[in-house]
Amino acid sequence: MKNVAMIPARLGSKRVHNKNLRLINGKPLIGYIIDAVKRSGVFDEIYLNSESDIMKTIADDYGIKFYRRPDALSTDEATNDDFVLDFINNVKCDTLYQFLATSPFIEAAHIIEFFEMMNDGDYDTLISTTDVQIECMYENKPLNFKQKEKTPPSQSLTPVKAYACGLMAWKSEKFKENISEYNSGYHGGSGKTGFYTLSGFATVDIDTVDDFSLAEQIMGSRHMQSYVDPEYYDPRLHSGIHEERDVPTIIRDDGVKNENYDDENNLITNIPELLEREGDDSSWIKRIVNSESNSYCVIHQKPGEGNRRHYHHSWNEWWYILKGKWNFEIEGVDHTVKQGDIVYIPKNKWHKITCIGDKPAARLAVSRADVAHVYKI
């Protein structure tokens, strides 16, 4: 029995331009499903099915085979039935497994389970679905509840299955028979059809620009999940507070009058030269780096100056002391720091910084431009 995996990926897309090539975290969308299929290790061959030369390049880069479909099967009018039939008529396979590039959160473990279910259940067709466990309607009629009865808890409702489509499989001969008899093999026709349930992020399907934004947020948060503990309402932190996010306004309210947020993100910045150039005559701030991940600012203040007591609910902050002395009051405890010290303050820790001694001091603040500063009202 020859088991072949096929990833369809035409170049054209009306809703999102070149969506299969669009990068998420530096990797093309289609690369996620290719990697997952390869990691599963259960297929005799893996093909990328497309009309495009650039998709051939991607197939070569990822070490999989390429099947060039006819241009006529790369239009908006071509159906899944059309290009699957074309593929199995030209590539020998007893069972064809189809995986969509628009499902980047399908993991190798899902694919292995799907593969095993197809074989153990001796299905002719296997379709991935998701369970929708909420009151569902079709043509204005209830599917899994009764309009004239008391609403039960949602967890006791019978789930309604909806196609997830990220994973599909067909026995080739039965697919051809269904095409011949019903002009469609996609849904299983007269053969034995099974349904594999997906849940969570695995059901995410990318079709719009908003979907890409959601996927980028998920990608960014998933690698951090092991480090993030759930947070809950705490009156000490969350009662009688307000947030400020505009850094220039925050700095001005802290008493810093001279600002420079323009000449930033230079390849090289020499801090000693910067300190000498700006001098000690006034309080000032110079932003050195401002990227999507970090903001680095040099803050120079005179004795007695500093900032207001606050905390950050979603950001761990740190400083490098460039010169002079500072008092860091952290959760009511005073800490005196000097040149060369690094101060780290975890999120949700009240803190206040004050320049002490008889000379100005400077610190390098490492944060992010959009981090919320939380103050007591």
Residue 96 has pLDDT above 90, yes or no: yes
Residue 252 has pLDDT above 70, yes or no: yes
Beta pairing partners, 82: none
Cβ atoms < 10 Å from Cβ of 130: 21
Residue 227 has pLDDT above 60, yes or no: no
Q: For the segment 282-340, what is each residue's pLDDT rounded down to a tens digit?
A: 999 999 999 988 899 999 999 999 999 999 988 899 999 999 999 999 999 999 999 99
Mean pLDDT is highest, among 40-49, 236-245, 365-374, for 40-49
Residue 274 has pLDDT above 60, yes or no: yes
pLDDT for the residue numbered 261: 92
Mean pLDDT to the nearest integer, 222-251: 78
Backbone angle region of 277, left / alpha / beta, with phi > 0 → left and psi within -120 to 50 → alpha: alpha
Q: What is the pTM of this model?
A: 0.74
pLDDT for the residue numbered 223: 58
Q: For the segment 105-156, what is each residue's pLDDT rounded down to a tens digit?
A: 999 999 999 999 999 999 999 999 999 999 999 999 999 999 999 988 888 9
- Give me 76's structure tokens: 């908006």
Q: Are 324 and 338 in contact (CB under 8 A)?
A: yes
All domains of the chain, ordered by start, with CATH?
3-227 (3.90.550.10), 235-376 (2.60.120.10)
